[in-house]
Amino acid sequence: MEQKHIISTLVQNKPGVLAHVAGMFAARAFNIDSLTVGRTEDPSMSRMTIVVIGDDRVVEQVRKQLAKIISVVKVQDFTGQDIVIRDLMLISVATPPEKRSEILALIEMFRGKVVDIGPKFVMVEIAGPENKIEAFINSCRPYGVKNVVRTGTVAMARYGRKRAD
């Protein structure tokens, strides 16, 4: 069954690693939904969180092919694990004067934060799992969404049964 899988990958913080990973996905015709890279607590390592769409067999191949890349240090498939998932979005929403308070209430409801105010728009920062982010975008559409920037998904396993790392 095709579904989204979150794969958390620890890689060496070296030039060319991102190209290697991205190239492997392209060469093997795997589907990336999102990919984020950032430093970790260890400056020599980066963390890539990759969301892939595919059935179990495809995702198993993705995991194995990632592990095969020499600069990839560790690969974890978070499928079925108890994890915290976050996506960060900056969104610019139109604010016609008569709707302003309505929009602010909506932002409040989604626990968003207004980070910039212009004469016709507000910029809102909002974090959460993907469905929350998407629900917020949909709720804003009637007012007018000017611009959306998203980080893509990051995830970490919860402490408890199956700890990350």
Partner 1 sequence: MSDNTISTDPQSSEPIRKPGSQIILDTLIELGVDTMFGYLGGVILPFFDKLYDSPIRFINPRHEQGGTHMADAYARVTGKVGVMVATSGPGATNLTTGLATAMMDSVPIVAMTGQVRTELIGNDAFQEADTTGITRPVTKHNVIVKDPSEMGRIIREAFHIASTGRPGPVLIDIPVDMQVAQVEVTSPEKIKLPGYASRTRGHSRQISTAAAAINESERPVLYVGGGVIIANASEELRKFAQKAHLPVTMTLLGLGSYDQTRAESLDMLGMHGAAYANYAVQECDLLIALGARFDDRVTGKLKTFAPHAKIIHIDIDPASISKNVHVDIPVVGDAKTILSELTKQVEHRERKKWFSRIAEWKSKYPLRYDTAATTIKPQHVIEEIYRRTKGDATIVTGVGQHQMWTAQFYKFNRPRQFVSSGGLGTMGFGLPAAIGAQVALPGELVIDIDGDSSFNMTLGELATAVQYELPVKVCILNNGYMGMVRQWQELFYGKRYSCSWLKNPDYATVARAFGAVGITVEKKEDVAAAIDKMLGENKPCVVDFRIDREENVWPMVAAGKSLDEMDGLDIFESMA
Q: Does 1 bind partner 1 (CB under 8 A)?
A: no
| Helices 17-27 and 56-68, axial angle in degrees (round to 10) | 140
Residue 48, classified by CB atoms within 10 Å of its CB into exposed (0-12), middle (13-18) or buried (19+), is buried
CA distance 114 to 86: 19
Question: Does the protein bind partner 1 through residue 123 (CB under 8 A)?
Answer: no
Q: Which helix (H) or strand (E) holds 85?
A: strand 83-94
The nearer residue to partner 1, 64 or 163, going by C-beta atoms, is 64
8 A C-beta contact, residue 2 and residue 55: yes
Determine the Cα–Cα distance for residues 90 and 49; give it in Å rounded to an integer: 19
Which of 18, 37, 53, 73 contacts partner 1 by CB under 8 A? 73
Show the tokens assigned to 140: 């804003």
State in angstroms the smallest separation of the CB of 6 from partner 1: 19
Residue 79 found at the interface with partner 1 (CB under 8 A): no
Contact string 26-45 vs partner 1 (x = CB under 8 A): -x------------------
Choice from 74, 111, 113, 158 touching partner 1 (CB under 8 A): 74
Q: How far apart are CA 54 and CA 1, in angstroms?
A: 7
Residue 81 contacts partner 1 per CB under 8 A: no
Q: Which of 4, 10, 114, 148 binds partner 1 (CB under 8 A)?
A: 10
Asked whether 90 and 153 are in contact (CB, 8 A), the reply is no
Q: CB of residue 110 vs partner 1: minimum separation in angstroms? A: 39
- Told to check if 13 binds partner 1 by CB under 8 A, we report no
Q: Does 61 bind partner 1 (CB under 8 A)?
A: yes
Of 31, 67, 116, 138, the residue at the interface with partner 1 (CB under 8 A) is: 67
